[in-house]
Amino acid sequence: MNSAGKNAQNTLIQSPYIWSFTTYFTQGFPYTIIRIITPLFLRDIGVKLESIGLTSLFGLPWVLKFLWGPQVDRFGTKRSWMLNMQFLLVIVLLLAGIFAPLSWGAQAIGILFFIGSIIAATHDTAIDGYYMEALDSDGQTKFVGYRVMAYRIAMITGTGIIATVGTMYNWFFGFISSTIVLGLFFIYHLFLLPKIEKERYPICQFFISFLKIKVIFGTSIISFIIISIRWYYKSEYYSNLQETVPILKKVWFSHWIAILLFLSLLIVLLFRKKIKDLITKDPDSFYSKAFLTFIDRDKIGIIFASIIFLRTGEFMLTGMVAPFCVDLGIKIHYGWLTSAVGLPCSIAGALFGGWMISKFTLKKVIWPFLLLQNLTNIVYMILALCLSHFLIVNTGADEIQPVGLLNLIFIACVHAFDQLAGGLGTAVLMTFLMRLCIKEFKAAHYAIGTGFMGVSGVFAGVLGGFLCSWFGYGYYFGISFIFSIPGMVAVLFLPDEILKPKP
């Protein structure tokens, strides 16, 4: 092949049409395994709903990633961060496959995936920064539907192929399959992902900074607190205390973690001024500038309210859909429902959403698309109430009563609507967050936005496990729609400069 032909081939392989798909596939795939497949895996092996609700804690790194997001802008390149994190995620999935058949596998995978969520959240920050660095404003808008489509395909690959392998065969093969999928994309990125930046400081300096005494001490304290709570819960003293105070028998380890999380939020609120002073102590530092430039804008209160509450209802729903399918008795159908039904609908929603935003502006479509996304909760409520009989007889049963062909079609239609509306909603959410980013701090600002958006997800997910256990799936899905209303109200008051394209 002559040099012109080779250049044309390289241009095609390294085209944004290729790497925008592969990067956002690798962003969505680990998230799907950690946040969506894990509840399915745990429910399949008999873990309680309250404990499954606690897998929402895996979302904490996505909430807190804004704390280290500026470092992705400052050290190394987005590409180097992406490759390093991708390699570590491949190792995490490989270890999950090894742990899955073991008697203590669920606990080990829980710890492993929490570590993996920190890696994945950093990986997401690098990908978002790379996307915004490589493309101008028009290019970002042009490919938004395409990147959402890639993300949704990654989700369908996880919930379709990986879930099917795990539920029909065993979870060793399920997690190993996910390792192979992510590993192939890593190889492509390692050799063919375009280099588009020059690093400000070597990335190794960032990791050396973790060797500081303060960082090691802080990490040790947090680890000690978690281990101490677990030890105390399993101790003989606590068992004796349960006999003295019977109500404690109804308070599991998962409840104590939820209580600790709530207390942490109260502490943050009480000391918010001191936290703000620490951030703004050196206003000329790169780290402080990233935060100050993000919050220094009109209607920042409305913007924060919108970011935090936009996905509350969606988070509450998605956290319990996989356990719902297991208890309904359709776990063996979960794979083809998500791949054969969900995939085309999610792609259609993503592409149509991106096209509608570019044609009619974000301002005109954000509220209708969010309403459609949240109406999914009502549709799931109707589904759960109509099929409540199967939930009663199939939950925890050794022999499953089939739901029947008509009911399966009903379920497929609900899932189709869910994926279509989800694609539309994700398109407007990504565009909204990108509009908040300033050029110099693209990765940091996007990390701040997505981090705050995940706040409601963590608390909604933890609360969701308890609410679903108390009220049942049907009423729970209805309650989750009520939690989506504040976000839909908040977007009505967003400033026009965010919702309309810049000239």
Q: Where are the domains of the chain?
A: 13-499
Distance (Å, whole) CA 385 – CA 387: 5
Q: Tokens 């109200």 belong to which residue? A: 489
pLDDT at 29: 93
Instruction: Give the torsion sign (CA, 385, 421, 502, 17).
Output: positive
Chain-centroid distance, C-alpha 167: 22
Which string of DSSP letters, residue by residue, matches 196-217? ----SB-HHHHHHGGGSHHHHH
Chain-centroid distance, C-alpha 244: 41
pLDDT at 285: 61
Please determine, for residue 182, whether its predicted confidence score (pLDDT) is greater than 70: yes
More confident residue, 120 or 35: 120
Is 75 strand, coil or helix?
strand
pLDDT at 183: 94
Residue type, position 313, single letter:
G
CATH 3.40.190.10 applies to domain 13-499: no
pLDDT at 268: 57
Distance (Å, whole) CA 199 – CA 244: 61
More confident residue, 473 or 141: 473
CB proximity list for 214: less than 8 A, separation 6 or greater: none
Structural element, H or E, at residue 172: helix 171-192
Q: Tokens 């000329």 belong to which residue? A: 284
Is 58 strand, coil or helix?
helix
On whether the pTM is more than 0.75, the answer is no
- What tens digit of pLDDT does each residue of 95-104 get? 999 998 887 8
Beta partners for residue 75, in sequence order = 201
- What tens digit of pLDDT does each residue of 360-385 get? 888 888 899 999 999 999 999 999 99
- What tens digit of pLDDT does each residue of 248-272 get? 555 555 556 555 655 665 565 565 5
Q: Which is nearest to 481 in space by CA: 338, 311, 265?
A: 311
Please determine, for residue 413, whether its predicted confidence score (pLDDT) is greater than 90: yes
Q: Are 306 and 487 in contact (CB under 8 A)?
A: yes
- What tens digit of pLDDT does each residue of 271-318 get? 556 666 665 666 556 666 777 777 777 777 888 888 888 888 888 888
CA atoms within 13 A on the CB side of 414: 21
Q: Which is nearest to 33 in space by CA: 143, 123, 146?
A: 123
Q: Which is nearest to 20 in space by CA: 115, 209, 124, 150?
A: 150
Q: How confident is the prediction for the chain on average, in pLDDT? A: 79
Burial-class residue 69 by CB neighbours within 10 Å (0-12, 13-18, 19+).
Answer: buried
Please determine, for residue 410, whether its predicted confidence score (pLDDT) is greater than 50: yes
Is 192 strand, coil or helix?
helix
Distance (Å, whole) CA 223 – CA 193: 37
pLDDT at 103: 78
pLDDT at 120: 92
pLDDT at 275: 60
Distances (CA, A) of 334 to 37, 151, 156, 316, 321: 11, 19, 11, 19, 10
Distance (Å, whole) CA 174 – CA 94: 10
Instruction: Give the torsion sign (CA, 213, 215, 219, 222).
Output: positive
Residue 5's pLDDT band, with cuts at 50, 70 and 90, is very low
Chain-centroid distance, C-alpha 499: 24
pLDDT at 6: 44
Please determine, for residue 48, whether its predicted confidence score (pLDDT) is greater than 60: yes
Helix 16-31, helix 144-156: angle, nearest 10: 40
Please determine, for residue 482, whether its predicted confidence score (pLDDT) is greater than 60: yes
Distance (Å, whole) CA 24 – CA 71: 21
Give, as one character, the DSSP assignment of residue 46.
T
Q: Which is nearest to 429 in space by CA: 503, 362, 352?
A: 362
Q: Of 127-131, 370-374, 476-480, where does mean pLDDT reach its minimum?
A: 127-131
Residue 240's pLDDT band, with cuts at 50, 70 and 90, is confident
Q: Which is nearest to 134 in space by CA: 340, 360, 443, 348?
A: 443
Q: Are 100 and 171 in contact (CB under 8 A)?
A: yes
- What tens digit of pLDDT does each residue of 185-229 get? 999 999 888 887 776 767 676 666 666 666 666 667 767 776 776
Percent of the chain residues topping a pLDDT of 90: 17
pLDDT at 212: 63
Q: How many residues does the chain have?
A: 503
- What tens digit of pLDDT does each residue of 331-363 get? 888 777 877 787 788 878 878 888 888 888 888
